[in-house]
Amino acid sequence: MTISRRTFIASSALATTAPLLHAQDSPEASNAKDTNPFPVRYAANIEMWWWKLPFVQRIHAAADNGFDAVEFWPWRGKDLDAIAKTANERGVEIAQFTAWGFVPGMNNPKNHDKFVDEIKASCETAHKLNCKRMTVVAGNDQAGMSQSEMHDHVITALKRVKPIVENEGVMLILEPMNIRVDHKGHCLYGSPEAVHICREVDSPMVKINWDLYHMQISEGDLCGRLRDGFDQVGYIQIADHPGRKEPGTGEIEYGRVFRELNTLGYDGPIGVESGTKEGEAIAVERLRNVKLI
């Protein structure tokens, strides 16, 4: 496979991202906590956090609370210049945004031309925002198609845009959902099929948005599944279950999962795509208090 210079530079940038875990036991630990108060590098989802504020003000709120990265959903309809300016001024990375959502599904070939056009436009947005990753969603069930057929169409769609994102140096991250709680009728859930799709596409710029909230509901065995498919992990998202609130409010032992991610070599930001159970201030404290075990 031929990879462009831009892709190589982008891949190198991902590989040298700040470590997932802070050196908590080192002499420099207290200084590290001054610059980042969290046990891992979180990216606040500013669609769900501080949602009562004007959108750009949410970036300020994230920075004021110690986050050096944020993520959000669709880029269309947002003031991209203001987002880029504010993120740059506050030293906040745009970790990822959504480039292609549920409808129309890329699991139907009639939508593939539109998908290609949208990925091209989204790459331009990613460069404007200095963003390295964009989420894409497979699509809701298509009438008269089996799950296998829909997944084959997803593979075809991703292969069509593979040379585009490799040339542009922007990683597409495919997000499996869960159908038990949030996304009944969606065609892609759990890790095995997502891993299969991305291995078939075979690109360093087409990986998985591995949302541990969805994975817990769909399959459990979070650490084991991560080990099985880690070669296809492009990004991690979290929320606790039940409730889809911040870690510390449900059943997931995130300290154990974060340690596993560190062992596996994940060094990117972790998107906190959750609501807040008792407001953002208490949620921030819960994020700070996750114990790595």
Where along the chain do its domains lie? 5-14+41-250+257-280
- Looking at residue 35, what is its pLDDT? 54
Identify the CATH class of 5-14+41-250+257-280: alpha beta
Distance, in Å, from the CA atom of 245 to the CA atom of 116, rounded to the nearest integer, reads 34
Contact (CB, 8 A) for 164 and 6: no
Contact (CB, 8 A) for 40 and 270: yes
Distance, in Å, from the CA atom of 187 to the CA atom of 7, rounded to the nearest integer, reads 30
Which residue is it, tokens 């989204």? 122
Burial label for 64, CB within 10 Å (0-12, 13-18, 19+), is exposed
- Looking at residue 37, what is its pLDDT? 79
Residues forming beta bridges with residue 189, ordered by sequence position: 177
- Residue among 195, 95, 183, 122 nearest 154 (CA): 195
Tell me the pLDDT of the chain (293 aa) as tens digits.
434 434 433 443 343 334 465 433 333 333 334 456 799 999 999 999 999 999 999 999 999 999 999 999 999 999 999 999 999 999 999 999 999 999 999 999 999 999 999 999 999 999 999 999 999 999 999 999 999 999 999 999 999 999 999 999 999 999 999 999 999 999 999 999 999 999 999 999 999 999 999 999 999 999 999 999 999 999 999 999 999 999 999 999 999 999 999 999 999 999 999 999 999 999 999 999 999 99
Distance, in Å, from the CA atom of 50 to the CA atom of 44, rounded to the nearest integer, reads 10
- Looking at residue 130, what is its pLDDT? 98
Q: Name the DSSP class of 278.
A: S
